[in-house]
Structure 1
């Protein structure tokens, strides 16, 4: 075992509770543990079980990377990268705040909830597989399937937390291991298909690639559609202009804000989101946040 400490500066107005809420969605705390002032998350990085931990003081996240193996410079760099993701530090919300300050629909929500951030999965692979798991099912069921997926393909850290798997770990699963545990056959096949492509090097999940290269590659994979791609772009790659017109919560938020007899259609939602380009990722964050507000 080896551990290293890392200090990450936090901006003024950092919304800690948003980060804790995102990582605390699985109440069984299999791979993430959240307390009042900190979090711990297990993830496989380069085949090594690592627990990333963060404690918070004003203006600083005091982090540790605890590895069940040698903490090489490459592994430490991966850990730092993953920490930036799970702390929501990839996309600076200031640009959207300036852009949408006077927007009649999202401007008032922005004023009430300044500084919203997009919290991400630790790795792009985690974001992509989580998007596949969550396709067309409700959140509690998706969280339960995710827990099963981690137990089947991941590994426990010596400290007790389970670590989210990487592609080679998933390729070792048999299809029946998933379908016998409430995964639909299509969902299970897509997870295994993606894992094999990544493990074989046929699909690159490197962050920073041009979006016009990433999108067609992902859409070409059987079982992956526009919603899954955009969710992965948002929660994994950290692109600032992801359009989630197929997301039910986004459509519900527009319906709540605009009124009408029913939620806007997917094409109508796409048109509504176009007004926020090139900041549609942050627009999604504020639309999601609006669902938690009480409207008098």
Structure 2
């Protein structure tokens, strides 16, 4: 299912209070930092002095981390703040894997860049954003909720809804004088009713969709493992598409940002249409047929092509 070349997952060193994550040559911490700073209303991490700060929930613990670049971006340093250093090596491994997944460090972008160099639109994108990674959402529930929250509204309001959702139902931790929020867990949301989400000021249907997804995950009927075991992109998409509130766009968004399926392609995305219109100087947004023709050479890199084109807009 994943035909991209994957890099070694153990490309990091454990120094207990800090973790050193080695990065591919085709990586720019600054480009990814620029992407992460696109919204001033982000609530799950903060950026100060070119470092990223966030809380990572572990099984029965929380690690608060600082993520920064080292030695001209040849490595990423993860530093544990306060007294949140996990004492168990397995939990430090969990944090390292989370950050590597978040930055998609395990994917070899050389084939993507080779393909993009000959593509009229992508050549501009990779020149502008070289080293950018498909910044992921490792937690499936968070990815599904973000996809649902963002349906049929602009990005700025989607961030507002996410902040309300997180601050109403998520967990918080104070560390070194700062407050860090963590995304709600399915078990936090599943027992709620639509009325309990009224303060978020979003549609009743979106509330119902969030509750439904939380229930499926709490019951073990929807997991990353089940989706990955589906055997193909189309089968995984069909599993998601059968869930109330999740259509082709949301399904492909989740498969792209969370499951890391390279051929995931949210072809109906308005942002993708606007980016293509902008880059090609079109008078109107391209049709689906035109997009399929333009993307004919993107096979197994549709997710990265989409992500890079989005970057022209946000």
When normalised by structure 2's length, the TM-score is 0.82
Equivalent residue for 2:76? 61
* Alpha-carbon distance in 2 for matches of 1:7, 1:231: 30
Structure 1 gap ranges (5+): none
The RMSD of aligned alpha carbons is: 2.5
C-alpha deviation, 1:73, in angstroms: 5.0
Q: Closer, same or farther in 2 for the Cα pair 1:72/1:220, shift >3 Å?
A: farther
The alignment partner of 2:278 has SS state of helix
State which of 200, 203, 217 in structure 2 corresponds to 1:184. 203
Question: Corresponding residue for 2:62?
Answer: 49
3-state SS of paired residue (2:120): coil
For residue 52 of structure 2, what is the aligned residue in structure 1?
39
The residue number in structure 2 matching 1:197 is 216
Q: Could you say if the C-alpha distance between residues 194 and 213 of structure 1 is closer, same or farther in structure 2, counting changes exceeding 3 Å?
A: same
Q: Shift of the alpha carbon at 1:65?
A: 4.9
Cα-to-partner distance string for 1:56-104 (whole Å, 9 max, x where unaligned): 1121111135686965455434322221122232433211111222223
Is structure 2 residue 174 aligned with structure 1 residue 158? yes
Q: Distance between the aligned counterparts of 1:16 and 1:70, measured in 2?
A: 25
User: What residue in structure 1 maps to residue 40 of structure 2?
Assistant: 27
CA contact (8 A) 1:243 1:270 kept: no
**What SS does structure 2 have at the residue aligned with 1:62?**
strand
Q: Cα distance, 1:264 vs. partner?
A: 1.4
Residue number in structure 2 paired with 1:284: 306
CA distance in 1 between partners of 2:112 and 2:26 (Å):
15
The equivalent of 1:109 in structure 2 is: 125
User: For residues 69-84 of structure 1, what are the structure 2 equivalents within 5 Å?
Assistant: 72-84=88-100
Matched, 1:237 2:256: no
**Which residue of structure 2 aligns with residue 136 of structure 1?**
152
How many angstroms does 1:286 deviate by?
Answer: 2.4
Q: Aligned partners of 2:134 and 2:164: how far apart in 1?
A: 25
Segment drifting more, 68-77 vs 151-160 = 68-77
**Structure 2: which 5+ runs fail to align?**
1-15
